[in-house]
Structure 1
Amino acid sequence: MFEADVGRTIADLDKLVPYGRIGRPEEVAALVAFLASDEAAFMCGSLVEITGAQAVA
């Protein structure tokens, strides 16, 4: 029963995101790795949203 509820909830969330799916943990991890790297050394005070364009819609 619980697994069916989780699957239904994820399917409902997918419909809310313009990209058609919720983000994967590795997508968030890639941003975290970038922000913690020397590549982001010149970034300061930035807001980076990982929303699948949900904030735009």
Structure 2
Amino acid sequence: MTQVWKSKTLWVNMLAALALFVSTQFGYQITAEETGLALALINMILRAITNEPLEW
């Protein structure tokens, strides 16, 4: 079992949330479609290389 703080998927999603916050603060915008596509692709790649469940 992988500890939650070692989860690559969790970190990617936390970075995405931080990027959203920073983009709103500094006016840089990408479309919702681009954001969704990027996260979907990254999550699919991470899911393919992950073989352990999270340990809550």
Same fold (TM over 0.5): no
Of structures 1 and 2, the larger Rg is shown by 1
Structure ranking higher in strand proportion: 2
TM-score of the superposition, structure 2-length normalised?
Answer: 0.36
TM-score of the superposition, structure 1-length normalised?
Answer: 0.35
Structure ranking higher in helix proportion: 2
